């Protein structure tokens, strides 16, 4: 064990120095000569302590970076993050409305492109000095909306690596940039302040916020620039054929790079359990292969590495990004602690750029917005999406039926018989689906197969099919927590996509104060499942969810009968 060897070496060296200090001759002719002798004798110790200081600093960084840095030029699979409640930085986004923005933010520090022998590296970068007088050094495409401003207030750490949303165009601190040459200017790898930021200092970032919808991502295609293909399709020597085959099996029914990426993301979230620590794999075993097929546990670096390499094996460019997850949000203010350190995959889409995905099971789902609906499909839809029938349309239809000699009564009887027949068929199909789903574990596979079958016919999959597929990828605790969203929707509350689970639970509590204890129980179990290594109590979460849904339905009926919700 390297840690044991390091500790033993330091202890032995300390003992030698103590021994030397006691054996320095006491009869030296002068203090000056004694000092020279001491310096000469202790010089090896000074050299040794310098090396040990660097080594200990490297251990503090999961990627072997400089002292004080959280991430460095390398990222090893088996080296976890030094997590704690220490505040890394706080972020203010004063220019953004609270109700708008991406699904959530990632504060990216740097990226890696090359994977070999269980470690990620950055290769072929260009180093340039940066001055705040320079705007948009990497020629980021600025869309119609102006870049958003973010103010970072450093916590108790001293560091030089600057964190920002994914596409910064300006930073207020002078320093050094590292980038990969591209056809348009440069692809940012890392941005360092010089001199380093000290505790309590502030820097500002202007960044372009891009949140493509699923339609744009599906239509992006696979015409990748040469610089992307040359850099971000690398696979390690002797890459595991089992992992490559698994990637092909997972994406067998997916047609676009986006759909393949989503399929792999969902597979990892569903089949790999989150664990804060991972033991060393058996000797002479491929680490990722062992994680995917046997151990089936890991933390963010394992999740992201597996997804990136599987995507690359399918010809989809991807890279490793590290930094911090969004952190604790209150309005447009974010508190980011060391425990929010995170690694995630970024996938390249032509015409869009790098897009984050979230395979780590302990992190909330990252849902991209759906494409806007075709106006022609919503001509008869009201504000809530319900079919609107103009006044008098039903009466005109009945008069036309009588003129054509049709008997509406017979039609009603035939329609009722048809509905009864369809109802029986649906009941039978539902029973068969439940039986075979439990027997052959097709609960997660069937909706995906159904969606693919519908889309291959040229039609869009109905929303209920997409929701079913998404539901199949949720854990039991996540399904129970959906009762919170169900309650808000049923009580006619708007749910912004970026709202955190805490914000949603707080909103429902304000509507149903009598259910505050049950909502807290469900939220606690949900947080336990997402953010800790402890096992959540599924039974307790289900019971709380059942009680919440029951009260929501009661409240809805009261609203229908009394015109407004009633409180117990």
> Hey, is 381 helix, strand or coil?
strand
What is the number of residues in the chain? 568
Query: What is the number of other CB atoms lying within 10 angstroms of the CB of residue 286?
Result: 17
Q: What is the pLDDT of residue 488?
A: 87
Indicate the pTM of the whole model.
0.57
Q: What is the pLDDT of residue 161?
A: 93
For residue 56, is pLDDT > 70?
Answer: no
Banded pLDDT at 49 (limits 50, 70, 90): very low
For residue 387, is pLDDT > 50?
Answer: no
For residue 462, is pLDDT > 60?
Answer: yes
Determine the average pLDDT of the residues in 169-195: 88
232, 323 contact by CB (below 8 A): no
163, 90 contact by CB (below 8 A): no
Banded pLDDT at 136 (limits 50, 70, 90): confident
pLDDT in tens, 58-74: 333 444 444 456 788 88
**How does DSSP assign 121-183, residue by residue?**
E--S-EEEEE-TT---TT-----SSPPEEEEEEE-S--EEE--B-SSEEEESS-EEEEEE--S
Q: Exposed, middle or buried, 142 (CB in 10 Å: 0-12/13-18/19+)?
A: middle
304, 112 contact by CB (below 8 A): no
Q: What is the pLDDT of residue 373?
A: 65
Determine the average pLDDT of the residues in 225-250: 95
pLDDT in tens, 287-307: 999 999 999 999 999 999 999
182, 231 contact by CB (below 8 A): no
Report which secondary-structure segment, H or E, holds 527. Answer: helix 516-531
Query: What is the number of other CB atoms lying within 10 angstroms of the CB of residue 454?
Result: 14
Report which secondary-structure segment, H or E, holds 217. Answer: helix 214-219
Alpha-carbon distance 311 to 186, whole Å? 23
> Hey, is 235 helix, strand or coil?
coil
Tokens for 32, please give them: 């000056």
Banded pLDDT at 183 (limits 50, 70, 90): confident
Alpha-carbon distance 557 to 562, whole Å? 8
pLDDT in tens, 97-119: 655 555 578 999 999 999 999 99
Express as a percent the part of the chain with pLDDT over 70: 65
Would you say the C-alpha torsion 220, 224, 228, 229 has a positive or negative sign? positive
Q: Which residues of 64-77 are buried (b: 16+ CB within 10 A; e: fewer)?
A: bbbebbbbbbbbeb
Q: Of 214, 216, 221, which is closest to residue 315 (Cα–Cα)?
A: 221
- In angstroms, what CA-CA distances link 380 with 373, 375, 392, 394? 13, 10, 15, 15
What does the mean pLDDT of the chain come to?
76
Determine the average pLDDT of the residues in 183-197: 86
Banded pLDDT at 222 (limits 50, 70, 90): very high
For residue 472, is pLDDT > 70?
Answer: no
Q: Exposed, middle or buried, 223 (CB in 10 Å: 0-12/13-18/19+)?
A: exposed
Greater confidence, 551 or 430?
A: 551
For residue 21, is pLDDT > 60?
Answer: no
For residue 381, the cross-strand partners are: 387
- In angstroms, what CA-CA distances link 377 with 387, 461, 531? 11, 14, 41
Determine the average pLDDT of the residues in 555-560: 78
In a 13 Å sphere around the CA of 539, the CA atoms on its Cβ side amount to 0
Contact partners, residue 470, CB within 8 Å, separation at least 6: none
Greater confidence, 229 or 366?
A: 229
For residue 324, is pLDDT > 70?
Answer: yes
189, 111 contact by CB (below 8 A): yes
For residue 257, is pLDDT > 70?
Answer: yes
Alpha-carbon distance 422 to 164, whole Å? 55
Determine the average pLDDT of the residues in 480-494: 85
Q: What is the pLDDT of residue 219?
A: 94
Banded pLDDT at 308 (limits 50, 70, 90): very high
């Amino acid at each position: 064990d390297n840690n044991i060897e390091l500790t033993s070496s330091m202890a032995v060296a300390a003992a030698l120095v103590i021994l030397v200090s006691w054996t320095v001759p006491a009869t030296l002719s002068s203090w000056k000569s004694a000092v020279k002798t001491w310096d000469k004798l202790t010089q090896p110790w000074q050299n040794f302590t310098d090396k040990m200081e660097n080594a200990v600093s490297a251990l503090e960084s999961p990627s072997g970076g400089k002292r004080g840095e959280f991430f460095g030029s390398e990222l090893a699979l088996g080296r976890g993050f030094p997590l704690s409640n220490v505040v890394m930085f706080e972020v203010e986004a004063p220019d953004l409305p609270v109700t708008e923005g991406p699904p959530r933010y990632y504060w990216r520090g740097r990226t890696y492109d090359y994977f070999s022998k269980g470690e990620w590296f950055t290769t072929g970068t260009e180093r340039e000095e940066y001055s705040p007088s320079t705007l948009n050094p990497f020629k980021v495409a600025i869309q119609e909306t102006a870049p958003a401003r973010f103010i970072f207030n450093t916590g108790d750490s001293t560091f030089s690596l600057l964190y920002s949303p994914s596409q910064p165009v300006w930073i207020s601190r002078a320093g050094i940039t590292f980038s990969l040459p591209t056809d348009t200017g440069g692809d940012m790898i890392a941005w360092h302040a010089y001199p380093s930021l000290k505790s309590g200092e502030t820097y500002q970032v202007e960044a372009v916020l891009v949140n493509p919808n699923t339609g744009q991502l599906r239509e992006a295609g696979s015409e990748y620039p040469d610089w992307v293909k040359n850099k971000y399709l690398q696979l390690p020597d002797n890459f595991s054929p089992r992992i490559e085959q698994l990637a092909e099996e997972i994406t067998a029914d997916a047609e676009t790079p986006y759909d393949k990426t989503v399929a792999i993301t969902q597979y990892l979230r569903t089949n790999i359990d989150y664990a804060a620590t991972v033991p060393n794999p058996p000797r002479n075993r491929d680490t990722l292969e062992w994680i995917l097929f046997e151990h089936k546990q890991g933390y963010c670096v394992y999740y992201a590495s597996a997804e990136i390499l599987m995507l690359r094996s399918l010809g989809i460019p991807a890279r490793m990004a590290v930094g911090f997850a969004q952190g604790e949000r209150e309005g447009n203010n974010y508190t980011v602690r060391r425990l929010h350190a995170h690694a995630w995959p970024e996938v390249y889409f032509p015409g869009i750029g790098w897009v984050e995905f979230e395979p780590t099971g302990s992190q909330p789902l990252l849902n991209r917005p759906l494409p806007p609906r075709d106006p022609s499909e919503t001509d008869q839809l009201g504000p809530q999406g319900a079919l609107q029938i103009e006044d008098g349309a039903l009466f005109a239809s009945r008069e036309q039926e009588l003129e054509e000699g049709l008997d509406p009564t017979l039609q009603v009887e035939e329609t009722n018989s048809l509905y009864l027949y369809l109802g029986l068929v649906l009941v039978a199909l539902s029973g068969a689906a439940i039986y075979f789903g439990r027997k052959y574990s097709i609960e997660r596979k069937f909706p995906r197969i159904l969606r693919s079958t519908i889309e291959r016919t040229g039609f869009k999959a109905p929303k209920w099919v997409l929701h079913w597929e998404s539901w199949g990828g949720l854990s039991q605790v996540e399904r129970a927590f959906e009762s919170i969203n169900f309650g808000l929707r049923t009580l006619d509350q708007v749910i912004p996509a970026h709202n955190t689970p805490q914000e949603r639970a707080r909103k429902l509590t304000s509507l149903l104060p009598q259910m505050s204890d049950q909502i807290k129980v469900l939220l606690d179990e949900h947080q336990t499942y997402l953010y800790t290594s402890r096992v959540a109590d599924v039974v307790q979460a289900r019971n709380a969810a059942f009680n919440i849904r029951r009260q929501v339905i009661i409240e809805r009926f009261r609203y229908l009968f009394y015109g407004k919700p009633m409180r117990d």
